[in-house]
Structure 1
Amino acid sequence: MKIRLAMYKALKAINVPEQQIEAVIQALDTDRHLSSAVKFDPDIAQFRAELSRFEVSLVIDIGLMLFLMVAILFAGIAFIH
């Protein structure tokens, strides 16, 4: 609440029109609300942790598939010769 009042006084002191002052304060409140929701929302933190685990699993799976493809390629070359 103090930030809103300080922002209002600062903008009023430099002769910003009332409508623009309200728009700036609303934008500031919206931005603050969204950033605090992202920082403190446990669902988002849980989602990020799950996404991180999925990423590690995906990297391991891709590495295993590449290893198997190379092994099959070498086995095929050895079988042909």
Structure 2
Amino acid sequence: MKNRLAMYKALKAINVPEQKIETVIQAMDSDLHLSTADISHPDLAQFRAELSRFRVGLIMDIGVMLALVMAILFAGIAFIH
């Protein structure tokens, strides 16, 4: 929305007719939507697979750290008694 307003103000400042301003803004919006839809499915699938691997690795790391904390806690409790 900000970009549309900025574009409108810029075109209005150089005395572009109102109808042409709207046409230019619509064309830019259309081009923007096409460029974001350009992401190919294999790239997206590869990204999701990599993200899934990262998630599994992160969960495993957290599990190992939790097990270490529990071991240290139990060792501390055993040492106190």
Q: 2:26 — aligned with what? A: 24
CA RMSD of aligned residues (A): 1.8
Amino acid at match of 1:76: G
Amino acid at match of 1:22: V
Aligned residue pairs, count: 64
Hey, what's the Cα distance between the residues in 1 that align with 2:35 and 2:29? 10
- Normalising by the residue count of structure 2, what TM-score does the alignment of the two structures yield? 0.63
**Unaligned 5+ runs, structure 2:** 1-17
Hey, what's the Cα distance between the residues in 1 that align with 2:45 and 2:60? 23
Hey, what's the Cα distance between the residues in 2 that align with 1:62 and 1:18? 57
Q: 1:53 — aligned with what? A: 53
| Alpha-carbon displacement from aligned partner over 1:21-77 (angstroms, at most 9, x marks no partner) | 12212211221221x223x24233212211111111111111121122112111121
- Normalising by the residue count of structure 1, what TM-score does the alignment of the two structures yield? 0.63
Hey, what's the Cα distance between the residues in 2 that align with 1:59 and 1:37? 32
Hey, what's the Cα distance between the residues in 1 that align with 2:63 and 2:38? 36
1:63 paired to 2:66: no
1:37 paired to 2:6: no
Amino acid at match of 1:59: I
Identity of paired residues, percent? 50
**Unaligned 5+ runs, structure 1:** 1-15
Hey, what's the Cα distance between the residues in 1 that align with 2:26 and 2:52? 37
